[in-house]
Amino acid sequence: MRVTFVGVGEAFDETLANTSLLVESDAGSILLDCGFTAASAFRGVAERPLELDGVYLSHFHGDHWFGLPALLVRSMEEGRTRPLTVLGQPGVAQKVTALMEMAYGGALAKAKFDLRFTQCEPGRTVDLAGFRLNFAPGTHSVPCLAVRVESGDASLFYSGDGTPTDATRALAKGCSLARARDLFPGTGQGEPRDRGLVPGLCPRHRGRDPGPGPRRPAGAPGAAAGNPGPDSTIFRL
């Protein structure tokens, strides 16, 4: 599994793209969240953007899904024919369709590829493009689902936004890499009391006033705790 930090910025960051992760394997690829600025950033890092298999939306705040119209319409312009699946909470199909109509009315009807939707809920397992996805609710101002993505022996936990719950901590336990903030209580910096629970841990956002650069936790080669920087945006798990 290869994980690329497409963006690590806050909602309104003027220099860093909205937080988004591109997850790839030999079998396929999934984009985790696609906010206002993430769609363009995705194009800057993806080697085969038209082969993207799915987009997972953790919740319906604009900095996590308002980049979808740009991603979809550019794919149409470039002649995409491969089906694309958008995964999200109940109502995802209606919300995405309405957003597309507001942004580019009538565009979906002209698409030469199937746009599919998969509803995600806690306790449900979704298999897509060689990945297995499981979900747990976090605490946020709107419903937000953290996701665990597994491929072979590698696993990634992505919180989306908000604060952790017992369910999200259980979902993250033992995974190869986690992108979250304060996943385990005790330090306030995203550092678990027991590093063995999650070998690699990255906080929620880098922020507009970034702190110290990345550092590697002992015993976790290829994973980083701290703020992902330009030299640590790709992890091979």
Q: How many residues can be counted in the chain? A: 237
**Strands, E assignment, 90-180:** 115-119, 126-128, 131-137, 145-151, 154-158, 177-179
- pLDDT recorded at residue 237: 85
Q: Residue 153 burial (CB < 10 Å; 0-12/13-18/19+)?
A: exposed
Q: 34: how many CB neighbours lie within 10 A of its CB?
A: 28
- pLDDT recorded at residue 185: 54
| C-alpha to C-alpha distances, 104 to 50, 107, 117, 155, nearest whole angstrom | 20, 6, 19, 36
Which pair of structure tokens corresponds to residue 178? 């986690």
* Contact (CB, 8 A) for 39 and 70: yes
Give the three-class secondary structure for 50. Answer: helix
The Cα 217–Cα 237 span in angstroms is 15
CATH number at residue 205: 3.60.15.10
Residues of the chain with confidence (pLDDT) below 50: 186-197, 204, 206-232
Query: Helix axis angle, 92-103 relative to 68-77, nearest 10°?
Result: 70
Give the containing element (helix H, strand E) for 22: strand 20-24
- pLDDT recorded at residue 14: 87
- Give the list of residues 6+ apart from residue 71 with CB closer than 8 angstroms, or none: 31, 34, 39, 42, 55
Query: Helix axis angle, 38-45 relative to 68-77, nearest 10°?
Result: 50
- pLDDT recorded at residue 10: 87
- pLDDT recorded at residue 234: 84
b/e for 76-96, b at 16 or more Cβ within 10 A?
beeebeeebbbbbbeebeebb
* Contact (CB, 8 A) for 42 and 6: yes
Q: 12: how many CB neighbours lie within 10 A of its CB?
A: 11
The Cα 156–Cα 42 span in angstroms is 19
The tally of domains found in the chain comes to: 1
pTM for this one? 0.84
Do the strands 131-137 and 145-151 form a parallel or antiparallel pair, or are they unpaired?
antiparallel
- pLDDT recorded at residue 230: 41
Range of the domain at 106: 2-236
- Give the list of residues 6+ apart from residue 202 with CB closer than 8 angstroms, or none: 5, 177, 178, 179, 180, 190, 224, 225, 226, 227, 228
